[in-house]
Chains A and B, each alone.
Chain A
Amino acid sequence: MSSPSIVINSPAAPPVIIEVKNVTRVFWDAREKSEKSVSALENVDLSVRKGEFVSLIGPSGCGKTTLLRLIAGLDAPQSGELLVEGEPVTGTSHERGYVFQQANLFPWETVEENIAFGLKARGVYEEYRGDVAEYIAMAGLKGFERSYPHQISGGMAQRASLARALINRPKALLLDEPMGALDSFTRMDLQEKLLELWQKFSATIILVTHDIDEAVYLSDRIVIMTPRPGRISEIIDADYPRPRSRSSARFVELRNKVLEKFHLAGAEAPVEYAI
């Protein structure tokens, strides 16, 4: 907000919250003497406005997870700058919630303890303990408070994992294919839940996905990435009115547009799409 480099198009537009400037991340082969390297991200630029829902989409290995981890502060770039609310990212923060591709719940804690983890870690459990039941209910996990993660289904675990990140009321929510491992019904259910939460908390969301339909249905903007080196090839505006329908003309049109960009970018979209 305070950074002078941010260009605001119109006075009404919300401020930029996340800025990725010319970021490069190269991975070297960990084995000794190996000269091989992978350019996971090369000169990537992206700004996300407050309250925006942005999807990252692209074939496997194009650097989606890498980019998300950099924004989360779980990893650092070789060059370039990452700013959140104008401040450089130096590490993780509970204000940037992260949901992993695998639910990644702590197996030694019950669902309830998992969801309360952030509150306890930050030392605010006493203050907000009432929230725990609320977030359990919101995630549709009432009655499973005392279950351990291996006793609940994959979809329930993902919802618990989402609730665990949300209970900190993060300003930004970074979601790495949280629905990748789910069947299409559970997935649609979770998509609705996500939209509901996004509107309720006016959070900023960056969602990594393999699923073009999911991106078109949920996002304000769709960022298409290409691999080797990982780059942003296109950003598509998907700012059409909500609530949306998967059968509307606008949806189908946008979906075709995204698919077309994939082909232009030379990526094997349909293959990835099938995953």
Chain B
Amino acid sequence: MRHETGGDVRGKKGFSPWPPLAILAFAFALGGNILIPPVRAINETPYRTLVGFIALYMAGRYGLSFFRPGVKAAVEFKARFFAAVGIALLAWDMLSTKAGIFPLPFFPGPVQIVEVARADWRELLRSTLYSLRLFAYGFASGTVLGVVTGILIGWSRQWNYWLFPVLKVCGIVPAVAWIPFGMAVFPSSFITGVFMIAICSWFPVALATTNGIASIQISYFEAARTLGADDRFILRHVAIPATAPSIFTGVSAATGLSFCTLIVSEMVGAEAGLGWYINWAKGWSAYSKVYAAIAVMALVFSAVLALLNFVRGKVLAWQSGLTNE
């Protein structure tokens, strides 16, 4: 996020040709699509609407950038990238839908993907919501369990003795290895999925929390004790806040693993969700749908990551300026 405005210090004054060029690139992508007919008849309106909308949005931001220096810096920094995206879209569109050089059905054009996403939006939305629900249950329970395990191990000698070896041995087993076990034991594929996402996020969070507690400076505990704090108070007001940065490091690692486990578990035996959707679409050789689902995944997972980063920023506000993140 912070890098957004960091790149171009020149953005302050002077004229950068890139923002208009980026808009132009999208205009070309749109114009090319309109001028050249497709090899096979297809509804091109959704794709045109999307590209046109992006171009309009960029033009709007560009207009705004003349009045707001912050927007100007951001727009100019991103412009080169968007120019490249516009050109790439144009090239992809020409090579697939317009000239039919890319072999179908494996390499559809952007037009096909956008059209399929529009036509099948109900099923995609339903799948996305299913995936999000599965992710939320599994990830939340795994993270909470991980923090609790980590605190127990880091805080108590007894728990450390009994639980740490279990964590170390069980944790390194990839969660998907438990799929047969889960399917045999749990009544539904949903619960199996929750179980697998929970154990795959449990391990990194628990390990990071354990390490975090172990690496707290003793002097913080000593200061708390001389100020009259008992163990409970120290746990709540020293150990946990001091470990929070480590917990979030574990959560970051757990997020990526959980996305992976989510999709794999949905591909195996689930009746809904983006992973199931991909598998199902593949069964019909509907590769446009596969790509549409992948695009949705990219968007949704990015949004989840952004949300987690936002929470992290709020919780670790005391750290800003201490680390170079």
* Distance of B232 from chain A, by nearest CB (Å): 10
Question: Whole-angstrom distance between the alpha carbons of A168 and B318 in the complex?
Answer: 25
Knowing A106-B220, A121-B233, the reply to whether A94 touches B318 (Cβ < 8 A) is: no
Knowing A106-B241, A108-B242, the reply to whether A72 touches B226 (Cβ < 8 A) is: yes
A-side interface size class? 20 to 34
Query: Which residues of A lie under 8 Å from residue B220 when comparing CB positions?
Result: 104, 106
Task: Produce 1/0 per residue, A102-116, CB < 8 A to B.
Answer: 101011111000000
Query: Which residues of A lie under 8 Å from residue B223 when comparing CB positions?
Result: 98, 100, 104, 106
Q: Do B238 and A106 have beta carbons less than 8 Å apart? A: yes
Task: Produce 1/0 per residue, A73-97, CB < 8 A to B.
Answer: 0100000000000000001111011
Knowing A72-B226, A92-B225, the reply to whether A100 touches B219 (Cβ < 8 A) is: yes
Answer yes or no: B229 CB below 8 A from chain A CBs.
yes
* Distance of A26 from chain B, by nearest CB (Å): 20
Query: Which residues of B lie under 8 Å from residue A120 when comparing CB positions?
Result: 233, 237
Query: Which residues of A lie under 8 Å from residue B244 when comparing CB positions?
Result: 108
Answer yes or no: B224 CB below 8 A from chain A CBs.
yes
- Quick one: closest A residue to B229, CB to CB? A121
Q: Do B226 and A122 have beta carbons less than 8 Å apart? A: no
- Quick one: closest A residue to B223, CB to CB? A104
Question: Whole-angstrom distance between the alpha carbons of A91 and B228 in the complex?
Answer: 11
* Distance of B273 from chain A, by nearest CB (Å): 38
Answer yes or no: B222 CB below 8 A from chain A CBs.
yes
Q: Do A94 and B227 have beta carbons less than 8 Å apart? A: yes
Knowing A92-B225, A121-B227, A121-B233, the reply to whether A108 touches B241 (Cβ < 8 A) is: yes
Query: Which residues of B lie under 8 Å from residue A117 when comparing CB positions?
Result: 224, 227, 229, 237
Q: Do A164 and B219 have beta carbons less than 8 Å apart? A: no
Task: Produce 1/0 per residue, B224-253, CB < 8 A to A.
Answer: 111111100100011001101000000000
Question: Whole-angstrom distance between the alpha carbons of A108 and B322 in the complex?
Answer: 11
Q: Do B228 and A121 have beta carbons less than 8 Å apart? A: yes
Query: Which residues of A lie under 8 Å from residue B283 when comparing CB positions?
Result: none
- Point out residues on B near A: beta carbons under 8 Å: 219-220, 222-230, 233, 237-238, 241-242, 244, 318-319, 321-322
- Ranked 10 nearest A-B pairs via Cβ: A94-B228, A121-B229, A118-B227, A98-B226, A108-B241, A92-B225, A122-B228, A108-B318, A121-B228, A148-B318
Between A and B, 10 residue pairs with Cβ closer than 8 Å are A72-B226, A91-B225, A93-B228, A100-B222, A104-B219, A104-B220, A106-B237, A118-B227, A120-B237, A121-B237
Known: A92-B228, A164-B227. 13 other contacts (CB 8 A): A72-B226, A74-B225, A92-B226, A96-B226, A98-B226, A100-B223, A104-B220, A106-B223, A106-B237, A121-B224, A121-B228, A122-B228, A151-B321
